[in-house]
Amino acid sequence: MSHMVTSDDLEQLLGSHLRALRIRRNLTQRALAERANVALGAVRNAESGRGATIRTLVRILKVLERTDWIEALAPQVSVSPLQVLASRSRRPRQRASAARAPRTPHTPSVPGTPQVQAAREEPDDV
């Protein structure tokens, strides 16, 4: 049976990455909290994996100059999923269309026109 990664595991992993990055930047938790304009407890919670708001996370990442992590979470879509579905539903053409006969102009039969009057004057062959 494979090991399932829980949300708690992922939060702790993210927190440990935040902590390591903060230490590499030579910042204390208090200094990070002040620069990010968040509470010290919010930084502690984020680093321990006990949860943080998106706003807190974004502010911390800005101070740590790692907003690229946000792009990694939600990369910009280059092809619309609807376009992919639409392209799959259309079958490629199998053959060319047949040539069509040229259209001839159609003259409607309107009473009082010379064509209609001529037809009335001709006697019926009986």
Residues 2-9, mean pLDDT to the nearest whole number: 82
Looking at residues 19-45, what average pLDDT do you find?
96
The better pLDDT of the pair 120, 32 is held by 32
pLDDT value at 97 more than 90: no
Q: Give me the residue spans of the domains in the chain.
A: 7-73
Res. 102: pLDDT tops 90: no
Q: What is the pLDDT of residues 47-71, one digit of tens each?
A: 999 989 999 999 999 999 999 888 8
Q: What is the mean pLDDT of the chain?
A: 81
How distant, in Å, are the alpha carbons of 83, 94, 105, 106 from that of 99?
A: 32, 16, 19, 21
**Which CATH number applies to 7-73: 3.40.50.300, 3.30.70.3270, 1.10.230.10, 1.10.260.40?**
1.10.260.40
Q: Where are the alpha helices (DSSP H) in 1-126?
A: 7-24, 29-36, 40-48, 54-63, 68-73, 81-89, 114-121
- pTM higher than 0.85, yes or no? no
- What is the distance between the alpha carbons of residues 37 and 63, in angstroms, rounded to a whole number? 10
pLDDT at residue 107 tops 80: no
Interatomic CA distance for residues 52 and 77, integer angstroms: 27
